């Protein structure tokens, strides 16, 4: 069997590929692969965006609520005056944000909650579907768009558990970070809030590191849920610097989406999810290859060699 479950079998070069050519630097290889599949990345992003739409709406609402809550009253007054003086003015930065912020007010609350619940349920399986396609692109293997739904179905239970667990943990930690002591709160609890916030911020970063590995392991290996989570957190430490670089790169893109006018209507539906997903896969999958696939392949080859030796005696 070539490779581990057929992975990393480079014995058959692709069309137009020189097998004797020296390997490209990661930076150039990343962009070569990205532009080669550019239209498919757009299609993949649009597909994933449909599943994420209610969650994206909630995130935009949360950001705008938080952002305007930290602005001084004088600044808010000036903003409201500018909105009132300009017909069609808005207090949000992007066109997509304006559209999505208005949607919840035009549909019944029960429908909004139902759509949000459906998005939360399908988030993990959709991540599995996208991770499978992106993993194949990194390995320079073909993947059909239909594989997105096939992998959603195949990994539905584990993807569901991983997705709900991720959303629940991040929501609770974000609540800890944003919580303010109410009037009459016990003094000891008020005094401990800064410590809770710092610990929660650290845990948020750790979870964001680990999530970069969870879904690709779910579609690559036959592991229990606890095994996927344990290995993901191990990789969050092993790949600390690349994980930190990825989070910073994604943070820059998020700032652009949230604060640059009209950037969100272009980036979010067509580019953001597939680009950041491919960037993450390109940086993180080599660690999985090195620490999980290669050792398993070596053990398998060693076992076959031992079997051959026993058979010849």
pTM assigned to the model: 0.83
Give the pLDDT of residue 64. 76
- Alpha-carbon distance 276 to 311, whole Å? 50
Give the pLDDT of residue 200. 93
The answer to whether 83 touches 306, Cβ cutoff 8 Å, is no
Pair of tokens at residue 114: 């139902």
Give the pLDDT of residue 165. 96
Give the pLDDT of residue 282. 96
- Alpha-carbon distance 110 to 55, whole Å? 15
What's the distance, Cα to Cα, between the start and end of the chain in Å?
25
Give the pLDDT of residue 9. 42
The pLDDT of residue 311 is above 60 = no
The pLDDT of residue 226 is above 90 = yes
Give the pLDDT of residue 296. 80
The pLDDT of residue 79 is above 60 = no
Could you tell me the sign of the dihedral formed by the alpha carbons of 170, 248, 54, 67, in that order? positive
- Please state, for a pLDDT cut of 70, what percent of the chain lies above it: 79
- Alpha-carbon distance 274 to 278, whole Å? 6
Q: pLDDT tens, 29-73?
A: 999 999 999 999 999 999 999 999 999 999 888 887 777 676 666
Q: pLDDT tens, 16-37?
A: 445 455 677 888 999 999 999 9
Give, in order, the Cα–Cα distances in Å from 101 to each of 90, 105, 199, 272, 311: 11, 8, 31, 19, 70
Q: pLDDT tens, 241-258?
A: 999 999 999 999 999 998
Torsion of CA 196, 199, 205, 209, to 10 degrees: -130
pLDDT category of residue 234 using cuts at 50, 70 and 90 = very high
Pair of tokens at residue 244: 């930190």
The pLDDT of residue 215 is above 90 = yes
Pair of tokens at residue 268: 């979010």
- What's the gap between Cα 299 and its chain centre? 32
Give the pLDDT of residue 305. 60
Q: pLDDT tens, 163-198?
A: 999 999 999 999 888 877 766 667 777 778 888 899
**Minimal CA–CA distance to 237: which of 212, 269, 268, 262?**
212
For residue 22, the tally of other CB atoms under 10 A from its CB is: 6
- Alpha-carbon distance 225 to 218, whole Å? 8
Q: pLDDT tens, 108-162?
A: 888 889 999 999 999 999 999 999 999 999 999 989 999 999 999 999 999 999 9
Q: What is the mean pLDDT of the chain?
A: 84
The pLDDT of residue 7 is above 70 = no
């Amino acid at each position: 069997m070539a490779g581990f479950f057929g992975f990393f079998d480079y014995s058959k070069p692709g069309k137009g590929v020189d097998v004797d050519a020296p390997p490209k630097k990661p930076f150039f290889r990343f962009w070569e692969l990205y532009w080669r599949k550019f239209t498919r990345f757009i299609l993949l992003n649009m597909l994933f965006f449909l599943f994420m739409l209610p969650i994206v709406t909630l995130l935009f609402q949360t950001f705008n609520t938080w952002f305007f809550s930290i602005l001084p009253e004088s600044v808010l007054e000036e903003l409201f005056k500018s909105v009132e003086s300009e017909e069609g003015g808005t207090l949000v930065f992007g066109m997509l944000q304006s559209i999505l912020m208005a949607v919840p007010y035009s549909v019944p609350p029960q429908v909004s909650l139902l759509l949000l619940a459906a998005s939360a349920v399908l988030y993990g399986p959709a991540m599995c579907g996208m991770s499978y396609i992106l993993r194949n692109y990194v390995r320079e293997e073909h993947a059909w768009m239909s594989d997105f739904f096939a992998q959603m179905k195949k990994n539905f239970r584990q993807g569901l558990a991983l997705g709900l667990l991720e959303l629940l943990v991040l929501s609770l930690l974000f609540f800890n970070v944003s919580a303010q002591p109410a009037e009459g709160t016990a003094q000891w609890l008020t005094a401990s809030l800064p410590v809770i916030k710092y610990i929660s911020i650290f845990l948020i970063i750790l979870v964001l590191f680990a999530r970069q590995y969870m879904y690709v392991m779910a579609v690559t290996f036959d592991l229990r849920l606890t095994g996927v989570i344990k290995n993901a957190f191990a990789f969050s430490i092993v790949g600390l610097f690349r994980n930190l670089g990825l989070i910073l790169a994604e943070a820059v893109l998020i700032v652009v989406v949230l604060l640059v006018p009209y950037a969100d209507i272009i980036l979010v539906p067509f580019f953001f999810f597939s680009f950041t997903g491919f960037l993450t896969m390109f940086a993180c999958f080599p660690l999985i290859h090195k620490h999980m696939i290669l050792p398993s392949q070596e053990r398998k080859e060693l076992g076959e060699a031992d079997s051959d030796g026993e058979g010849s005696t």
